[in-house]
Chains A and B, each alone.
Chain A
Amino acid sequence: MTDNDIDKTIDKLCDGLKPVKPCCPTRNGLLWILLVVCYTSAVALTIGFRENIAESMGREDYVFEIMLAFAIAISASLVTFWISIPGCDKRKKFMPVPLTLLAVQFAWMLERLYFEGIGDIRENWLSHCWMNTALHTTLPALAVILLVRKSGATVMPCWMATFALISVTEFGWIGMRLVCPRDNVGEAYLLNFLPYVVLGVFLGFVAKKLFRW
């Protein structure tokens, strides 16, 4: 490689220059959140809300769970889009927000697991819940991958994949809690949440290839 080669590269890049519009990651993030909220609501309406939804909404623990998941989903979505571009050092400070909320959620789940037990998980191992879960999350996951690949150029692919996964999972979790009548934490957590964690581990391995640019 010589200076000549670098000059040739610069020539080639200048020849291929097209006007570009600076992207706004916050706007993209908010757009994605809006799309996912609409989609999750539509899927919940299509499947049908749980029968005892009105009664559940009056329960503090249920509302807390939904609100916590929503806060995690929103913050993780914004962080995903913020770190989808280079030079996002200032916004990296927000990374602990969804992670801390996620830790609170884990602690809450473990506490409930301790008091409620694992439930009838074996009987419902391969239930329709998984289908509903897939329905809730496949399209949002594809949408976030496409949006980030199209408008971003991340220098932190693994972290970005992690936050994208957290946001998709939490929105999916909210959707499932709206339609699934079973409140037992063992069943709800292991059937509706844990599969994403497993998927996320595999996604982590391909994150660099998935978000290559």
Chain B
Amino acid sequence: MTELAETQINQHWSDIAAKAQSGDAAAYRTLLSDLVPVIRRSVIKSLPNPQNADDVVQEVLISVHKALHTYDPKRPFMPWVQSIINFRKTDYLRQHYAQRENMKLSLDDPDTPDYLVISGHNGSTKDIEDAFDALPDQQKKVVELMKIKGYSAEEVSKKTGMSVSAVKVSAHRALQKIRDRL
């Protein structure tokens, strides 16, 4: 995202928040509705059970409502709302882990959190091997030396005769290809 676009987005948030502060219900509805995916995206990775994300989303919305008077429209909106999100998320996690049963994990039947499973993918290392095999030979060699054997870019450069920047670019492109394939 360019700096200009980011500034415009920030300005948009600040504008609708200022309108909400002045009592504009339509702007307030837009603000809260637009915030829902932002909050959800922000909390979902940190929760032990992503199904509970909406509970936190609701808590955050209520907190935004209660703290609306503390927002200064001259300042950016996102840091303000992000600090509320972090606060409520921490609160939620504290309560969650305070319950004894949430601290236990059965080893007989471990529940893999949903976010660790990519839908439509069986999660097998075979897929990674296949993606790796599909790489061109040079990229395969670079990835093997840098990411599997742990050589530095300079060392790989000496071994392969490529320049250091070419090694870095090659490694980056190779990982991107593996990621796309998975």
Q: Are A6 and B54 in contact (CB-based, < 8 A)?
A: yes
Q: Are B71 and A18 in contact (CB-based, < 8 A)?
A: no
Question: In whole angstroms, how far apart are the Cα atoms of A14 and B63 in the complex?
Answer: 13
Contacts of B83 in A (CB 8 A): 86-89, 155
Q: Interface code B73-107, partner A: CB below 8 Å = 1, 0 otherwise? A: 10110011111101100000000000000000000
Question: In whole angstroms, how far apart are the Cα atoms of A87 and B10 in the complex?
Answer: 14
Give the residues from 56 to 77 in chain B that come closer than 8 angstroms, CB to CB, to chain A.
Answer: 57-58, 61-63, 65-73, 75-76
For A22, give its contact among B55, B73, B81 (CB under 8 Å): B73
Q: Are B70 and A152 in contact (CB-based, < 8 A)?
A: yes
Give the residues from 44 to 62 in chain A that come closer than 8 angstroms, CB to CB, to chain B.
Answer: none
Q: Does A153 sit within 8 A of B, measured CB to CB?
A: yes
Q: Does B33 sit within 8 A of A, measured CB to CB?
A: yes
For B66, give its contact among A9, A24, A84, A213 (CB under 8 Å): A213
Contacts of A16 in B (CB 8 A): 65
Question: Closest approach, in angstroms, between the C-beta of B36 and any C-beta of chain A?
Answer: 6
Q: Does A10 sit within 8 A of B, measured CB to CB?
A: yes
Give the residues from 1 to 40 in chain A that come closer than 8 angstroms, CB to CB, to chain B.
Answer: 1-3, 5-6, 9-10, 13-24
Q: Does B134 sit within 8 A of A, measured CB to CB?
A: no
- Interface-lining segment among B18-26, B111-119, B164-172: B18-26
Q: Does B151 sit within 8 A of A, measured CB to CB?
A: no
Contacts of A13 in B (CB 8 A): 28, 32, 61-62, 65
Question: In whole angstroms, how far apart are the Cα atoms of A86 and B84 in the complex?
Answer: 6
Q: Are A17 and B23 in contact (CB-based, < 8 A)?
A: yes
Question: Closest approach, in angstroms, between the C-beta of A58 and any C-beta of chain B?
Answer: 45
Contacts of B63 in A (CB 8 A): 153, 213
Q: Are B29 and A1 in contact (CB-based, < 8 A)?
A: no
Contacts of A21 in B (CB 8 A): 21, 69
For chain A, the count of residues having a C-beta within 8 Å of the partner chain is 30
The A interface is mostly helix, strand or loop, or mixed, namely loop
Contacts of A9 in B (CB 8 A): 58, 61-62
Q: Are A10 and B61 in contact (CB-based, < 8 A)?
A: yes
Question: In whole angstroms, how far apart are the Cα atoms of A1 and B23 in the complex?
Answer: 28
Q: Are A153 and B21 in contact (CB-based, < 8 A)?
A: no
Q: Are B70 and A19 in contact (CB-based, < 8 A)?
A: no
Contacts of B73 in A (CB 8 A): 22
On whether A213 and B67 interact (CB within 8 A), knowing A86-B84, A87-B83, the answer reads: yes
Question: Closest approach, in angstroms, between the C-beta of A78 and any C-beta of chain B?
Answer: 16
Q: Does A162 sit within 8 A of B, measured CB to CB?
A: no
Question: In whole angstroms, how far apart are the Cα atoms of A89 and B80 in the complex?
Answer: 9
Question: In whole angstroms, how far apart are the Cα atoms of A19 and B19 in the complex?
Answer: 9
Q: Does A85 sit within 8 A of B, measured CB to CB?
A: yes
Question: In whole angstroms, how far apart are the Cα atoms of A17 and B25 in the complex?
Answer: 7
On whether A86 and B87 interact (CB within 8 A), knowing A6-B58, A14-B29, the answer reads: yes
Question: In whole angstroms, how far apart are the Cα atoms of A23 and B66 in the complex?
Answer: 13
Q: Does A151 sit within 8 A of B, measured CB to CB?
A: yes
Residue of B nearest to A152 (CB): B70
Question: Closest approach, in angstroms, between the C-beta of A67 and any C-beta of chain B?
Answer: 32
Besides A13-B28, A17-B25, 9 more A-B contacts (Cβ < 8 Å) are A1-B52, A9-B58, A9-B61, A20-B21, A22-B72, A151-B70, A152-B70, A155-B83, A155-B86
Q: Can you list 26 A-B pairs with a CB-CB distance of less than 8 A? A: A1-B52, A1-B58, A6-B57, A9-B62, A10-B32, A10-B61, A13-B32, A13-B62, A13-B65, A14-B25, A19-B21, A19-B23, A20-B68, A20-B69, A21-B69, A22-B21, A84-B70, A85-B70, A86-B67, A86-B87, A87-B82, A89-B79, A151-B70, A153-B67, A155-B83, A155-B84
Across the A-B interface, give the 3 residue pairs with the lowest CB-CB distance, nearest first.
Answer: A87-B80, A19-B23, A153-B67
